[in-house]
Amino acid sequence: MWPFRRRPRNDAVVLEVLARLERLAELVERVSTLLAERPVVGATAPAAAEACVETTQSRVDEGGAAGHVLFVGGPAGYALLERDGAAPERGEEVDVDGVRHRVVRLGPSPLPGDRRRCAFAERQEPSAAARSSDA
């Protein structure tokens, strides 16, 4: 014989669970419908990106220097800066608002449709000698 006893089936409990599952299915369907009808948040973002791409493309089409993009981090977050001329080489230092940054990587621009190069730069901490001379 079996080491456990089979519980008697309680039809009332089964019916209650089925009713709750049916209600849950109705709620999921309603949420799905509401999400489909909801307007897309930030719908202006693609327009802004398209304007940026058009500006960049017009600069390239005019035959002028396309420039490059500089991606830098700071205390308030990251910034994407447009610069004229060729992108700096890896390891090169650049000055952004009086703060030195070192280029750690070169890659494509993160802007959609932008053909310019992007220099990814890290903020350089002042050396111990420079900090002691400031004090």
pLDDT for the residue numbered 3: 64
Q: CA-CA distances (angstroms) from residue 123 to 23, 68, 83?
A: 55, 18, 17
pLDDT for the residue numbered 10: 75
Handedness of CA 101, 107, 112, 113 (dihedral sign): positive
Question: For the chain, which residues make up each domain, given as ranges?
Answer: 65-134
Residue-by-residue pLDDT tens, the chain, 135 positions: 556 666 666 788 888 888 888 888 888 888 877 777 776 554 444 555 555 555 545 444 444 447 999 999 877 788 899 999 999 999 999 998 888 999 999 999 989 888 899 999 999 877 655 555 555
Distance of CA 51 to the CA centre of its chain: 19
52: nearest Cα among 121, 118, 117, 110: 110
And the tokens for 49?
A: 């990106």
Q: CA-CA distances (angstroms) from residue 48 to 51, 78, 83, 92, 111?
A: 5, 18, 19, 31, 11
pLDDT for the residue numbered 94: 93
